[in-house]
Structure 1
Amino acid sequence: MYTHHVTGNYDYLLQVDVADLPAYEDFHANRLAGLPGVASVTSYVTMKTLSAETP
């Protein structure tokens, strides 16, 4: 489990696990961006996980 403190102009924070960047591109273009009510999507790619809590 990851803990996030989020502030700013975001409505939702989604953590998406995909196999690679082409898989994320498919998810973004063909699933997420086409949903009703989704006006924009901002993506940040994790380069390294510094810490994670396990249940």
Structure 2
Amino acid sequence: MKLLYYKQVMQVMQVMQVMQVMQVMQVVQVMQVVQVMQVMQVVQVMQVMQIMQVLL
């Protein structure tokens, strides 16, 4: 009986670990996307500034 219980506990632990890793991956992906968006915005702003300067 104890052995079976131990195996179940191990499985649950593994599943928990996998879930945690998945969550971390998602968070990292989201952070990367946010960074890319920010960089894109900055680049756009720079371009707009340049165009304004040219017009002025």
Q: Which TM bucket (shorter chain)?
A: under 0.3
More helix by share: 2
Normalised by the length of structure 2, the TM-score is 0.27
TM-score under structure 1 normalisation? 0.27
Structure with higher Rg: it is: 2
Q: Which has the higher contact order (CA 8 A, sep 6+)?
A: 1
